[in-house]
Every structure is written in structure tokens, then in C-alpha cells.
Amino acid sequence: MVATLEESLRLHAHRPGTLLKLSTYLHDRTGGMIGSLSHLVREAALDTLLDGSERITRASLERVDLDESAEQQNLPRAHRRRTRIEKRTA
């Protein structure tokens, strides 16, 4: 599934295989939910188009907010992420 999503990306600077290498992270982050995975990759791709980098990285994936059910799958991780965001905006 991850490989198929990655093949569909049309980002000029994206390195093929990047998402496949992050498959464990992606599974953990989305709780294995296909809809959440699709949302995560789509939002990260859109963000990279807007910022001009056209390259998905783990850092760009980390900046994407997921649906509540996916975030609930990994509450300690979600809490750490919110804490980092709160510190950056303070």
C-alpha cells in the first residue's frame, strides 16, 4: 500500500523509496488505518507543494495532523507532538 501511494506522487524532489523506508513509522502513526495513511501522505504532499520543497520527509509527515481515531492509537506520541508544537508557538 505504501509503495503504491508513493508511486502516485508527482513531486519533483521526492526520493523514491522514502515512504517505503518509513513504513513502520507510517503504520504506527496511522494505527494501520488506510484512510489515515492516505490522508497523511496527501496532506504531506500538499504541504511540500506549498512550501516549494516537493519532497516528503519524516519531518514533513510529523507536521501533519491526523484524524482523532489515528491519533488515539498512539496517545503518548500524540502528546509528545502537541508538546513540541506548543513549545514552538510559545
Give the model confidence (pLDDT) of 1-27 as tens digits. 899 989 988 899 988 899 999 999 999
Task: Report the domain count for the chain.
Answer: 1
Domain that holds residue 57: 2-89
Q: What cell was used for 47?
A: 504541504
Q: How many whole angstroms separate alpha carbon 4 and alpha carbon 41?
A: 11
Q: Give the predicted TM-score (pTM) of the model.
A: 0.75
Buried b (16+ CB within 10 A) or exposed e, 13-36: ebeeeebeebeeebeebbbebeeb
pLDDT in tens, 70-87: 767 665 555 555 555 555
